[in-house]
Every structure is written in structure tokens, then in C-alpha cells.
Chains A and B, each alone.
Chain A
Amino acid sequence: MALVAEKVSKRYSGLLALDSVSLELPPGRILALIGPNGAGKSTMFEVLSGMRKADGGKVVLDGTDVTELPPWQRCRLGIARTFQVVRPLAAMTVLDNVKVGAFVRHHDASEAEAVAREALEQVGLADRASQLARSLTLLQRKQLEVARALATQPRYLLLDECFAGLRAAEQDVSMQLVRRLADQGLGLILVEHSMRIVMRLAEEVMVLHHGKKLAQGTPAQIAKNPDVRAAYLGARDVVG
């Protein structure tokens, strides 16, 4: 039982965005994917969620090879994602946005609505349910991304920079949510720039650099790793 990437490679017209990168995410675990811009973090999300096909390697979901499956099928099998650049269904209400996700597992409209309201409750958007998605602030749109993904009731959730732009207090609330989801057995991958969040939330950190895996380990190990310092963290205060 795990979401596994086996030696995944992805090439964008000459540029090797991912070079034979492997990862394994068991249920209930929080893995942080870090690295400088262009390191391949988002590409990894694209390949795991199926939005883009890998040029090499395999993606295996709980023992099922999903490498050739389109994103909607992977979603039904239990992989959900958020988008770094948020994609609200702008002309629909917040509740209807989340209902689209809930319909993946609940074909009955009132059941789907109940699931959607619960997801909105979890991310703290419940009082915005009847608002149009286009009227949300960027912060709320990020929450909407998470609610929509949660409503698909995934086993693995890929969160792409969903903490960026949040104030410290808001980050704490979101971190509690992520922790709670992991406790419920959800496997989570975070792409994150804030080392504060990575250090406090992740159980395991993978560092990507120029599409290659540079290091992997516990947050403490990564913080001490000289290669990582040189490549990425050099100028930064690691503990944040």
C-alpha cells in the first residue's frame, strides 16, 4: 500500500525536468518535496496525477500500475491534487465547485452535497458556500482547491504550495488540517517553499535539483545535508 513513482523521467522539449526520480508515499505519511524553482517538483505532481505522461518509469498506486491512466481515472482510484496556480470553476458557487469533486464517489446529489459541505467545513470555507468562486480572495481560492480535492475522498493528496501567501496564524490552522488528514490515514505530498512548514510538518523530505533527486531523509537530516545547503538552502536560514 503506497503511492509509488519508479524512476520517473519527463522531458520538455530538450529540458530534462525529471531524471529517473523515485519516491514512495505510504498512507498516513507526509512527504515534502522541496527544491529551487525549476527543480521538477511541479512536474512530479503532473506525472503523479496523470496530467502529463511520464517519458520513462512507472507510477504505481496501491499495487496498480496507473502509468497509462488519464487523470480522471487516477482521481477515481484515489489520487487528488491541488493546483499551484489555482483553478476555481469561476462561474459556479463555492459549494458547486466542491460538489464536482464529491460526485466522484457519490452519484446522489444530496449525498454529494453533504460530502462537499463537510470538506468546506474542514478547510474553513463553509460560510462562503453560496458565493461564486470568482468572488473569493486568493487565499480562499487556495482553500477551495483543498476542499475540492478532499471532496473526492482520496487516499493520496498532492498539495502544491497551498500554504504560500498565508499569514502565520493561517498557516498554523492549515498545518493542523494536514496533520489531521495524515492521522486519518491520508498520504500527503507537499510542494512547499516555506522551510518553517516543511520542518514542522513533514516526516520525510525529498530535495529535487535540476530534475534529479539530491537528497532524501528526515527534516533534521536534510537541514544538515551539505549538498542541500550548497544547492538550495545556502543563503537561507534553515530553521526559519
Chain B
Amino acid sequence: MLDHQPWLRYLQPVVLLIVAILVAQVVPSRYANALVLFTLYAYISICWNFVGGLAGKLSLAHGAFFGLGAYISAVLFVDLGVPLLVGGVIAAAVVAIFAWIMSAIAFRRRIGALYFALLTLAFAYVLLELVRQYEIAYKLLGVHLPLVDDPLNLIFLNKFNSFYIGMVMVAIALAVWIWVSRHRFGYMLAAIREDEEAAKALGVNVPSVLTVTMVATAAATSFAGVLAAGYLLSVEANFVMSFEWMNIVLAVTLVGGLGRMYGPVVGAAFITIIGEIVRSLPQSIAAGGISTIVYGALVLLAATLLPSGIVGIARRDRELVVR
């Protein structure tokens, strides 16, 4: 039935959104933080999945795009009174420019996978250092947003509202995924992933398709930062720009299912639960980056035992593109 009525697929994100909202009604408020983290993980990972899963390019810069979105929008809001959403658009534009520069360097000529990963990693650290230097110069204690109920700036006294917004973003990202993976652009991305030379011979403008994907997903990722800024209220370089976010995105996508539509959602749920368990451990064990070790171990396990992720268990027959 679904194949005859393709638009029905677009109901899936809507249903997911409704279910999530209903579930949130019965979740104790102490788990609101976990729910928000879940939406952030899922949303960023869906964005990253276009690059890492569909196009097969290992970007290590998307964590920094998220952090930059949070930091720029928070600074503009606190220092210049720019509404958070407007600041978010500005942040997205800045992030898009960085992604474009990265793409111009990387995709102009055919470069190896390792080179691309290292280039994006270097960019991520350059951006972190830039923000850190700015913080040392002007914002020594971080950027602090006022704790007042201010829905237009995504600041809510009821933390569940951040979760709802996050779920809407997840649903939109999933809808975009459905659209892309069923249309020309998605096929071009998958062809690039499978074989760049063959893709070129089949009329795919490899550099421009990859550049569009990097720039669009970078800008989209930065919006998660805006949501995080309004939610966290206290935005510090070392936290929002931390490479930990990138680690989580990799763990989420690989555990959930690389290149699969629901991979990031399932992976984010899994990683969030693991994160909560780690957090609930006694301080003596939980301290000192144990979460990073756990995420790393999960990636190793996923890579060796579940190459198609959790989603792949259910749908082993269906490969990456499409659907």
C-alpha cells in the first residue's frame, strides 16, 4: 500500500511526533532533560546521516556546527538583544559559510576519505579554538540567558516544551529524509557513496551535490544549537563546542543504523538511555569521561556485530538507499 501512495510515508514522522507528545505526558519531569537530549541527538544525527550515511562522507565537523549555532545565537541574544530565532538564522548563515569553505577545499578535486575526515576534524578544532579565544577575551564565565518564560526565544520554564520543539525538528528532518531518498538528489548522493567515478559517468555533478549537502546539513545542524541555547541557558565553549557531541552523533548513527531513515532516532533513544544509566552511577565511577569510553565501546560493538545497526536487524534485506 505504501508504495502506491508515496505521500502516506510522510505520515510516519507525524505519527512519531504525536506518539512522542503523548508519551511525554506520562514521563516524570526528572526525565525532561533526557528527552531534550534525545531530540538533540536524533536531530543532529539525522542531519549528519545525509552526509555520512547517504553520501558516505565522514564529516567530523557537524558537532562544531551545532556548537557554533548555540554559541553565536546565545551571544547575539545576550549582547545585542537579537531574538534567539533571528540569531539562529545568522548563526546558520555563518555555519553555512564555514561548511562551504570546507567543501570548496575538499570537493574541488577527488580526495580520499581519510583526507576529508581529517579536514573536517581540523576545521572542528579550529572553530572550537576560535570560540574559546573569544570566550577568554569577552565571556569568561560563558554566555547566560535569562531564566524567564520566553517562548519566542525558545526559553521555557516547562522543559518539556523544548522536547516538543525538538521533536518537531526531528519530524521535519525525517520528512526531508523521505523526500530526498525518493528523489533525484538522494539517488545522486547514494551513487556518490557507492562509486564516485560511476556517478560522474552517470551525469552526477559530484562536487556540487556534495557541497549542497554539506552546507544544507551544516545550517540545519546549527538550529539544534539554537534549541540547546534556549534550553541550557548557560552556554560555554567547552561544553557546546566539545567533540563529545560528534562522538555521540557517530555512536548514535552507527548503533542505530548508518544511512537508515530511523537509524538516528533508534540510536538516539539507545544512547540517551545508556547516558542516563552512566549518569546515575556513583560519582566515583561516573567521573572522568566514562561516557566517552562507553560510547566508543558501543561504536566498536556496533561496527563488529551490527554493521547495519539496530534498524538493520529488523530490515536486513533493505539496503541503504532508498527508504
Contact = CB atoms under 8 A, between A and B. Distances in A.
Contact of A96 (B195, B204, B321): B321
Interface of A: 49, 51, 70-73, 75-76, 80-81, 83, 87-93, 96, 99-101, 103-104, 107, 109, 112, 132, 148-149, 152
A104 B199 CA distance: 11
Interface stretch (B78-86, B180-188, B270-278): B180-188
A83 B201 contact: yes
B201 A92 contact: no
A109 B184 contact: yes
Given A100-B188, A103-B184, A51 B201 contact: yes
Interface of B: 182-184, 187-188, 190-191, 193-195, 197-206, 319-322
B108 to A, nearest CB: 11
Contacts of B194: 88-92
Contact of B202 (A90, A93, A107, A152): A152
A87 B187 contact: no
A49 B206 CA distance: 15
Q: For the complex, would chain A's binding face be called helix, strand, loop or mixed by DSSP majority?
A: mixed
Contacts of A107: 184
A149 to B, nearest CB: 8
A103 B322 CA distance: 15
B203 A109 contact: no
Given A89-B191, A89-B198, A107-B184, A132 B319 contact: yes
Given A83-B201, A91-B320, A92-B194, 6 more contacts: A71-B201, A91-B193, A96-B321, A100-B199, A100-B202, A103-B203
Contacts of B182: 109
Contact of B187 (A49, A80, A100, A152): A100
Contacts of A112: 184
A87 B197 contact: yes
Contacts of B191: 89, 92, 100
12 contacts: A72-B199, A72-B200, A75-B202, A88-B195, A89-B190, A89-B191, A91-B190, A92-B190, A96-B321, A103-B203, A109-B183, A109-B184
Contacts of A88: 194-195, 198
A75 B319 contact: no
B86 to A, nearest CB: 34
B202 A101 contact: yes
Given A72-B206, A152-B203, A51 B184 contact: no
Contacts of A103: 184, 187-188, 203
A87 B191 CA distance: 11
Given A91-B320, A92-B319, A96-B190, A76 B203 contact: yes
A49 B188 CA distance: 19
B181 to A, nearest CB: 10
